[in-house]
Chain A
Amino acid sequence: MASPIIEVQDLSFKYDQRNNENILTDISFSIQQGDWVAILGNNGSGKSTLAKLLVGLLSPQAGQIMIAGNPLTEETKWEIRQHIALVFQNPENQFIGTTVEEDVAFGLENQNIPFSMMKTKVDEVLDLVGMTPFRKADPSRLSGGQKQRVAIASVLALDPDIIVLDEALVMLDPKSRREILATLTQIQMTKQTTILSITHDMDEAMFADQIILLENGRIKQIGTPTEVFSKITHLEPPFVEKLRRTLQQKKRQVPEMFLTEDEMVKWLCK
């Protein structure tokens, strides 16, 4: 197996040094390039904190983070941020530009990219998220879902190797969410982009290559969707698993194991 693009070792973190309790305790995992990883957990389990640690906005009390083989430190964080991008949970305060297109261009301006190249890139990503008609609009006057799209466009413009989405799709209507997910999957496939998606949407988590389940700042479970959903029963399950469990309760002969959507369809058609 190739060396992982993200490797987290024994990470511990707390906001307040005076506190004894950690917000995150002994977090270790590794992620391969090109994977889609879903991070699940209850409110306050430390998902957003983990995201901020991964981009170097917070520094851990213990443990270390390796991105593409380089340890993330105060010195290396600027270099590493060229490879990793984060869409924040709150879309409100992540806008810097006065218009949508200027905001999308902000990250490109920071890389000192000439205007003509910026223009092409901005046009391209605005089109991908369907925000071209709003390019001259004031980002702070957009609806929640539109703000999230602009935030995603800003990240896509940078062509990062790793994208961390902190509940970045929650305000989108179901259809747009599917479209943006499809776009992201496409990018993940073609450019081998690694995507870490913090989410409460179990149907989205089902499609992940790997699920990391946090509970009270610790890793409760880590593995493929099949492994996680069959082991953890108190988690609100995705639709297919709900179906399987209901059928099981009704004493039908369903497989004992968790099924993916395809498998379920095959089994039902038998």
Chain B
Amino acid sequence: MNKLILGRYFPGDSLIHQLDARAKLTSAIYFIVILFLANNWQTYLLLAVFTILVMFLTNVRLRIYIRGVRPLIWLILFTVCLQILFTSGGKIYFSWGPITISHFGLINGFYIFCRFVMIIFISTVVTFTTKPMDLTDGINFLLQPLRKLKVPVDEFSLMLSIALRFVPTLLDETQKIMDAQRARGVVFGEGSLVRQMKTLVPIFIPLFTSSLNRSEEMANAMEVRGYQSGKPRSSYRQRKWQLKDTVSLVIMFILTFSLLVLRT
């Protein structure tokens, strides 16, 4: 269960950890947008250096970042291959019907690869260094304009935060149920695929019923403590916007400006 890297939080006190969730989220989204400004090796190099610098500042080891890319590697390679095989231009190394491997294709493929990896790295920087609750608060803040369109943003973020809070509980519960079934003689992860699937049924059914019970009890507890959706609520988690956060946004603008100068 501990293999899950994507969306995990790594406690720490680095500069990036200290930034406000809103600043981090805005900067990350902004970075992904300006990534599309890059169109030559200078701009890509600049962005790569920036990404590596930010990753370095988080004090999370590079190995962990790379593990985060791994689940998506096939998707990335597939896109890169398409890009290489169907772009033409420049010197042609190989050609077969509509498929060509050209100089441009290779370069483009490489750029696409870098772009993917940078997007993943920058988003993992945010999730690694921000507590899930701060992240939901940040998302809540960024989505506030949607309230004008009658989108229930606050309810949505409360839902998200409760869901996040239940992830460890559910993992614990799965472990408990697996242990209980093991004690009754079930063997997991052995035999044919069909057999392995069958052993999962006695895990999912109790997990399902207990989750339903849990959510009912939880809804009751929320109701008794006066939670009414749509009513204005204050927040105990306070967000503090510091100078650092402003500085981070300024850095993003400088980065944009440099990209505009360097791109061809």
Residues of A participating in the B interface, judged by any CB pair closer than 8 Å:
52, 55, 57, 78, 81-82, 85-86, 88, 90, 92-98, 101-102, 105-115, 118-119, 122, 138, 140, 154, 158
Apart from A96-B218, A154-B225, 17 more pairs, CB < 8 Å: A57-B224, A78-B226, A85-B224, A86-B224, A92-B217, A93-B213, A93-B214, A93-B218, A98-B132, A98-B133, A98-B161, A105-B236, A107-B225, A107-B226, A108-B236, A109-B234, A112-B234
CB-based nearest B residue for A58: B220
Asked if B95 CB lies within 8 Å of chain A CBs, one says no
Q: Shortest Cβ distance from A229 into chain B, in angstroms?
A: 32
Interface string of B220-238 (1 = CB under 8 A from A): 1111111110011111111
B236 near A109 with CB under 8 A, answer yes
Which of B105-113, B162-170, B201-209 lies at the interface with chain A? B162-170
**What residue in chain B is nearest A106 (Cβ atoms)?**
B225
A122 to chain B, nearest CB (A): 8
Chain A positions within 8 Å of B132 at CB level? 98
Chain B residue with the shortest CB-CB distance to A99: B133
Question: Once the chains bind, are A110 and B227 in contact (CB under 8 Å)?
Answer: yes
B228 to A110, Cβ gap below 8 A?
Answer: yes
Residue of A nearest to B227 (CB): A110
Interchain residue pairs with CB less than 8 A apart (19)? A78-B226, A78-B228, A88-B220, A94-B221, A96-B227, A97-B236, A98-B164, A98-B165, A102-B236, A105-B236, A106-B222, A106-B227, A107-B226, A110-B225, A110-B233, A112-B233, A112-B234, A114-B234, A158-B225
A109-B233 in contact given A93-B217, A94-B221 (Cβ < 8 Å): yes
Q: Are B224 and A55 in contact (CB under 8 A)?
A: yes
Query: Least Cβ distance of B145 to chain A in Å?
Result: 22
The 10 closest A-B pairs by CB, nearest first: A105-B236, A93-B217, A94-B221, A110-B226, A107-B225, A109-B233, A112-B234, A93-B218, A110-B227, A93-B214
Residues of chain A contacted by B238 (CB below 8 angstroms): 115
Smallest CB separation, A161 vs chain B (Å): 14
A57 touches B169 (CB 8 A): no
Contact among A90, A102, A111 for B226, CB-based, below 8 A? A111
| Bound CA–CA A41/B173 (angstroms) | 32
- Assess whether B221 is in contact with A102, with CB atoms less than 8 Å apart: no
B234 close to A94 (CB less than 8 A): no
B134 to A: closest C-beta gap in Å:
10
Contacts of A140 in B (CB 8 A): 165, 168-169
> Cα distance A57–B228 when bound, in Å?
14
Are B218 and A112 in touch, CB under 8 angstroms? no
- Contact A110:B231 (CB < 8 A) given known A98-B165, A115-B238, A118-B236: yes
